[in-house]
Amino acid sequence: MHFRNVIILLAAFIVVSSCSYFSAPTPVEKLLPKGADINLKYYADSASPDSGSVSVLVLGTSHLAQEEEKVDSVQVDRINSALAEYNPDVVAVEYLPADYPRGKGRDYRTEFDIKKYASEWDMSVSETDSIVKAYQSGSGWASNPCRLAKRYFLQYDIMNAYYYWDQNDCTAIKKFEQITDWIDYWKHHESVRLGYPIARSNSVRELTNFDYQGDDAQWFIDKYALDRLKDGHIGAIYTFWPLIPYVGSIRGVYPNHYGNIDSYIKELHKKNSPEYIGLQYWVYEEKMRSITWNDDSVGSRQTENYWLRNKKMFENVEDAINEKNADRALIIVGSGHKYFLDELVRKSDYRWIDPREYLPSL
């Protein structure tokens, strides 16, 4: 069958199937089988952040830079003011660490001409590492934030370089189009719009980049399904349908248009709710694992891959907590990771904190 016809059939299938999906959300209790290995009562309350041990708050959100409709600053300011009350001393954002080896899996970081910038800024790349480490081990804010930002940048810690370039009139970046293009995109991202202000208000001098993108944790199953369709295997439409995570879901509960008053705040409440977490469990642990193709357990392999990625991400946060001797860690991450990271927090010695307790009220 011609691939165009396959796409038409797929679109028709989605339209028909979407009728129930848009009409009303399915209660999560009906999605979860009896004996499911997830306790939604765990999400009913969180421990006090001052009760002794390290606490972790995982905030699941959409990736704001990828949204066509931008969130207005009034909502973001309200969210930042509220979350700042958590008083984190580690703020972790979903970006690859500076020392993540290139060529080891998917790498979304821009390839900058570091030698060119070092020459232009009259700096030695080899010396910047010790200078940054000296700042990390010290106290107080840098007397020359623009110069410190250059040091971070030459160490490929781009997220922390921008942290110090942002809100400072640093002329060093204005002449390099590649750097300004990167900033034009990332200035809309939740790492910058949420992470930076919350970190500053709590005197966090350096953000923690904690993503992982290794080949051993790749997301492959959507391409696998598309390849089956291209080969004319129409059965893939039904077999891989559980990949659509919002079927019979709670998506219709809140508006998703950021121009509406407090709509992003409502979305954060939704994406950090027990219903949403239960839905993710249902998708990844129940439906995803059930997908097989020609006796190949592709769905189970995909879930395990995603578990591996989230475990590696969580290890990066743990390293930062130990290195900084932190008491409270805030993780800002795409909501697709929320279920996994919450479970890792719950199974660790850390105390889980409900983000909704620190979000602006609805």
Per-residue burial over 319-344, b = 16 or more CB atoms within 10 Å of its CB, e = otherwise: ebbeebebbbbbbbbebbbbbbbbbb
Q: Does residue 255 form part of some domain?
A: yes
Distance CA 318, CA 337 (A): 16
Q: Does residue 172 form part of some domain?
A: no
Average the pLDDT over 181-202 and give the result. 95
Q: Is the confidence at residue 285, as pLDDT, over 70?
A: yes
Candidate from 19-23, 140-144, 217-221, 294-298 with smallest mean pLDDT: 19-23
Q: Does residue 247 form part of some domain?
A: yes
Q: Does residue 165 form part of some domain?
A: no
Does the predicted model carry a pTM greater than 0.95?
no
Q: Does residue 168 form part of some domain?
A: no
Do the Cβ atoms of 210 and 94 come closer than 8 Å? yes
Tens-digit pLDDT profile for residues 120-151: 999 998 889 889 989 988 888 999 999 999 99
Q: Does residue 204 form part of some domain?
A: no
Distance CA 155, CA 98 (A): 7
Q: Does residue 133 form part of some domain?
A: no
Tens-digit pLDDT profile for residues 237-263: 878 876 655 544 455 554 555 556 678
The sheet with strand 55-61 has its strands ordered as 208-209, 90-93, 328-334, 55-61, 351-353
3-class secondary-structure state, position 251:
helix
The CA-based dihedral angle spanning residues 75, 78, 80, 82, taken in that order and rounded to the nearest 10 degrees? -140
Do the Cβ atoms of 28 and 281 come closer than 8 Å? no
Count Cβ atoms below 10 Å from residue 16 Cβ, excluding itself.
Answer: 9
Q: Is the confidence at residue 1, as pLDDT, over 60?
A: no
Position 167 scores a pLDDT of 86
Query: How many structural domains are present in the chain?
Result: 1
Distance CA 316, CA 331 (A): 11
Q: Does residue 117 form part of some domain?
A: no
Phi, psi dihedral angles at 57 (to 5 degrees): -115, 120
Domain that includes residue 221, residue range? 3-94+210-358
